[in-house]
Chains A and B, each alone.
Chain A
Amino acid sequence: MATLFEGFTLCGLVQTSSASDSAIQGIELDGDSDHAVVTDSTRAVTLYKVSDQKPLGSWTVKQGQLLTCPAVFNFQTKEYVVVSDNKVIRVWKEEDLNLDKAFKATVSADVWRVHSAPGGELVVLFQRGAVRLLDSLLSAPQQPIEGILSEKEVIRWSTNIVAEKQHFVLFTTEQRGEHFLYVQRLNPNTLQKYRLEREDSGASPLSFSASLRDKHINLLYLYPNGCVYQSVVAVRGPVGLEGVQALPRSLRLRLPVGEGELGAASAVALDEAHVAVVGMPHPSARTGKDFLCIWNTNFQTLQAGKEMVGRIRGQVWCYLGKLFVPHGKALSVIPYECQKSSLASALGKLRHPGIAVSKSSVAIPSWNTLLHGDQPQGPTKIVDTRKSKLRRKSQSAPALTVDQVLELIKTGPVEEVRREVEALVSRGDAQDLQLSVGRLACQLVARSQVETAFYAPGALARLVQTQCLCHSMCPDLLLLALEHKDYFLCQLCLQLFPDIPEVVTCACLKTFIGVPDGDVEMVSLEPDSVSFMEGLVAAGARGGQQNGFSPPLFEDSCDPHHQPKPPQHQDKKNPTLQLEVCPVGLHKAVLLNEVLQTPYSDNLLVPHLKDLNAPQVILFLQYLQFIYLKYSQDVYTQTPVLRSPTMTQIIDWVCLLLDAHFTVLVMAPDAKGLLSNLQSFVKSQVKLFSELGKIEGSLQELHKMKPSKDISQYSIEVIELF
């Protein structure tokens, strides 16, 4: 998971005259990790101490002069370098107060950028594509500079990378709508030119970001339609290949762009799995494109998002765990953290192991299929194709394409929409079922949200059942289902979505607890889970003990001669304990079970759990206690086939509820019995674990035992006698 921490403002920005121009030319690192060299768009270079948010020094050029390149720091000589008026290179040290008195050299051609990297020399990139080392340039400033780029070819972006003592300068150019990548190796100097694939819309890339990984340079670029592509250039690439090569790209991410296209947006790779994007809409926010988001490209999940107040200029820099984003009237620094993402953390905690395996076989490879265009090979897929063949035979009318269905959804009646969606989904052979399903679902939800009368439960359920949908693809679906009291769809979503946010889980829980039993009992739910619950309740109705076992809960630990008492006795002794009757209705219990099995991470869940009110908490706890007792009584032998909450999940939820509502529960008089029972839960668990701990000692002895040499029935050995 990635996290965006609370940011702070490093400095205010001057409003520039033109709306498109940014107030900041560039941010570069200093020798000190806490320093940042900010070059504004006009005349000033300011050195900031980031953690203190205060400037350490500022240098400006004279009125009339203009800084045309961000100031960079020379890590070898501890000097700053900046270019003014395209041709004048200025070099100064931190002690120098006046930039005018600093070293100046005028070169013969226009400079595009001066690039610096730790461990590498400064490199000057000229606007016509030539590259010089700064030192050699300064020794002969007026040396002729050749032009590499053709007429009308302009540099759009450049960077430099030091890899394995090899210095690279990368720059992209645009020429009549075509984009090229130049890779200039220094010492020996070679230049390789690649052509970027054209985006269908013909749009230009909004931003580039290059990073070095595994001896490859990864170039990440964002298009206005929300596609983030990645291209890989080998460090030890084919040298000496003449001409322009096509640069293969792969789609890493398709960002939801909302209406229209992205205007000023920028993507920067944080690590191999995470991309920070600024200037895009947040999927769950309705409007505005002023968000900074971190996406996981492996799972295509949104990991963190932050709204940036004010106009975003599509600029973002990332240095040492901090993102520098100019927005509105300020330059914000936002620290972030990207934990190594694993499937488990991406999908959340407490996935039912059996389910996780069966589902993941379908859901997880689909990322790859989406990205690399492979044919999906999940078992569901095969079933669907078989079905679709049958269907194709029976259907004479040609099926509609995805776009046609999308059009239909905008206007068509519920029944027709359901039919067409079903046909489309069961046809299944669409290249990217995953994408189309997501689009269909979003469209359906969007219409439902606009038209309150329109709600297509059948179509939505069908879409969810494809298992190609997840919550982040269509974030409003589950809430919509809740709104329409479509509990069947809710159950499906809870079962099949791997990424339901905790807030939504909580909302579901709250609704489920609050709904009157009568309302739910009429709803048809997934039969397996209902039959599981029926079995559990029926086992309770049979009641009594099996094999003379009574749950340790009831046993008074102080009384070693405790005899099993008849149930009536227990009734009198502690009436609240007699939980033979399920505290909630059958279907309600089924829904609650689904909530129990939803993945979550407890840090995020507890705050939302506080939304529940005291009676709801008590009722839920009673229910949890009921199933805990059922499980521990062992009356009901769990069928592994059925999807059912595990003991651990139950205990975890009890803990979470207690964490969230402890004070409330302590104060509430009707929770007293419940709490004391829960305490005995804990006691019995503690007892169990202490017993296990005792066994551990004995088992460890087994490890210490000398491993006996495995001697088989027959062997030929060699011995030596003296």
Chain B
Amino acid sequence: MGEFKVHRVRFFDYMPTAIRAMAFNAHTERLALARMDGSVEIFNFTDHYFQEKVIPGKDSRSIESLCWVGGRLFSAGLNGEIAEYDLENLRPKYSLEAYGGPIWTIISNTQGTQLAIGCEDGTVKLFEVLEEHIQFERNLDRQKGRIISLSWHPSGTHIAAGMMDMIRVFDVPTGHAVQRLLVDRGFGGSKSRETVVWSVAFLSDHTVVSGDSAGKVQVWDGHTGTLVKTHLVTKWDVLALSVSKDESSVVAGTSEGTVIQFQFIAPTLHQQQDKEWVRTRTFKNHTHDVRALAEIETAIVSGGMDTHLVVRPLLEKFDENIEMAGFDPVLLLFFPQRNLVSCAKKAGLLLFQFPGQLELWRLGDSDEHGKPGDRLPLKRKPEKLLLLKRKGEDHICCSALSSCGGWLAYSTVSSVLYTLHTSSASPRTPPRCLLPPANHQSSLLLLPSLSASMCTPSSPSQVSGSSNMSPQLGCSSLENHRFLLQPIHLMTTSGDGKWLAAANSDCEIHVYNLQKLKLHCIVPVYGSCPSAMGIHPTTNNMTVVHADQQLFEYSIVEKQYTDWSRKLQKQGLHNVWLDRDTPVTHVTFNSKNPNQVVLHDMHMFCIIDQSLPLPDQKTQFYNQMTLRSLSEQERPSHLHAFKICKTFQDLLCVSLLDDQSLVVVERPLLAITSQLPAPVRQKKFAT
């Protein structure tokens, strides 16, 4: 296929923030995840753990706890407010001061009628969940000391509250505390320190399970208030507990980064009735505190200070097979599954999106030519052209750079949209707000290649385009006739600016004709969310990659799948391709060779050459090494369409510039890890 000059970029200092809280909605199979910077992410567990929605953070917001009530998501934080999120417009719907000081935890009863929060001032406050709002109902008996954790008995009559040095059990109807469970302090030097009950779980048989700062997981009888069993699991803190749906298993997350499973089983085979809580398994997928845990039916999901989300499947039946296959079933989700990097293909510029700022870089240059594997001497170093800090408290949720590099836009939740003409003469022109701070609240921005217009999905049902042939500013919106509930999460335009495609979380892809400002067609709905798409600049064929790794090519003009796509679907994608665990996040094309499509996920990039035969299941899929070793004559018989390069890892962006050189933006995980705070000290062997 040929040689490529690769700009290997590692200066994007993207730093994900720590995971603080997690809530799993068993009904919709969505996991809500809150990070330290106040952002909330929704993962769809039915669709390959696809990161469906991201609600950007805000400086003043802190989230300590998340809670689903039906399909509604609530959060509470140390700023003392309860917030509900608008999952359609991807922003907080409203927030409510609870007047109890910082809130440590929020839970709902199983019926979904009430919310309870634990406050710093020692009160447990109950809120009634109304149709569009929540309403304060009453306080339970006020206690001395803060309420750190809460758990509602499935029947709804009792609440267990973890406090300092004790656990209280409240009778909800009367509001009185009925039990007082004293938690021992730690040994040695920590004896003088109060024990914090970080987490409690109230099981339907009135068993209370607690995890505390002395490193204990304790099992209590909630009726009598007696301690049944103590498991000392760590020298440090047990920070999180999660109970499986059938209450047969409890997992505990510790400061050491371990997740420990306890199971309610009979210790001997003969007495199946006498069950007790036994510590069974220990998982170590984290280096730092495990702050959030969720045990779902098939997996344990955990997250914490080390910023990545771990999905550990509980494939108990297949454990042996998996071990024999040498296959690590653990899924680690590191990067957001959307673009933080925009690349101006013509100008060779990169735009990096941070929560608080944008950075515009010009790539370096080299005159030299080299053999494959060489590193070329630089003629010009990369240069940071622009550092644009956002205004206000809201974090930047999306940004875009036009392919000529002349236009730059970003947006925050509070709907202000800035664009900037980054002409080469004075790249430091102050940002100009070209769109009035109107009702545009955009989660996605796109600057089409012609730099003539800008597209933004402003509300779920609307795509607005602004043609900004500066200084005149035309603004038009594309009304969608269909009633859409889900927000648009992907958008792309064709090279000639005629077509716009927008995909939403309901897996629908709408294609609009921008010249007529009308809906052109709807791509047949596929069962998995599109994770990346792109419209070919010359053929106007749209390539769509879904979260389940399926790949389609749709001809916009003919309103049907192309022959190549049909052939691919007929033959089926290679299993190796389908088994990858990170979604494709970017699709670009080679302007010189219409047959070539460039895709990438976190661990590889792939150039698909549509002129070559498709691989069947028997073909060696990763065949670059083999091809390298073959002679020129033998090679053609071994070629197939998927050319995969794994030289570069931890990819955030791969793009093919117009001068045929590749840009690869890497963010090595090691660099992220090295910026994390030090983990708790653990005695390791030989240290």
Q: Please report A residues at the B interface, Cβ cutoff 8 Å.
A: 698, 711-722
Contact = CB atoms under 8 A, between A and B. Distances in A.
A718 B10 contact: no
B378 interface: yes
B607 A718 contact: no
B10 A698 contact: no
A297 B372 CA distance: 58
B548 to A, nearest CB: 26
Given A713-B11, A718-B3, A718-B370, 12 more contacts: A711-B10, A714-B7, A714-B382, A715-B376, A717-B374, A718-B369, A718-B376, A719-B373, A720-B4, A721-B1, A721-B645, A722-B623
B325 interface: no
Contacts of B10: 711-714
A698 B607 CA distance: 44
B369 to A, nearest CB: 8
B635 interface: yes
Interface in B442-482: none
B381 interface: yes
A716 B643 contact: no
B446 to A, nearest CB: 27
23 contacts: A711-B10, A712-B10, A713-B10, A714-B8, A714-B11, A714-B364, A714-B382, A715-B378, A716-B6, A716-B7, A716-B365, A716-B375, A717-B5, A718-B371, A719-B4, A719-B6, A719-B662, A720-B2, A720-B372, A721-B1, A721-B607, A721-B643, A721-B645
A721 to B, nearest CB: 5
Contacts of B517: none
Given A711-B8, A711-B10, A716 B628 contact: no
Contacts of A716: 5-8, 364-366, 375-376, 378, 661
Interface of A is mostly: strand
Contact of B628 (A698, A711, A718, A722): A722
B372 A719 contact: yes
A695 to B, nearest CB: 10
B632 to A, nearest CB: 10
> Which of A711, A712, A713, A721: most chain B Cβ within 10 A?
A721
Contact of B647 (A713, A719, A722): A719
Contacts of B7: 714, 716
A715 B5 CA distance: 10
Contacts of B5: 716-718
B627 A722 contact: yes
Nearest to A709: B375
Interface string B353-389: 0000000000011100111111110100110000000
A718 B375 CA distance: 7
A713 B376 CA distance: 14
Contacts of A715: 8, 375-376, 378
B71 to A, nearest CB: 45
Contacts of A713: 9-11
B269 interface: no
B301 interface: no
Given A712-B10, A714-B364, A716-B366, A722 B639 contact: yes
B686 interface: yes
A93 B607 CA distance: 91
Contacts of B6: 716-719
Contacts of B179: none
B624 interface: yes
A721 B376 contact: no
Nearest to A694: B686
Nearest to B11: A713
B624 A698 contact: no
B623 to A, nearest CB: 8
What are the 4 tightest A-B residue pairs by CB atom distance, in nearest-first order? A722-B627, A720-B372, A713-B11, A716-B376
Nearest to A722: B627
Contacts of A718: 3-6, 369-374, 376
Nearest to B609: A721
A506 to B, nearest CB: 48
Nearest to B6: A717
Interface in B617-663: 623-624, 627-628, 635, 639, 643, 645, 647, 661-662
Contact of B8 (A698, A717, A721): A717
Nearest to B625: A722
A722 B375 contact: no
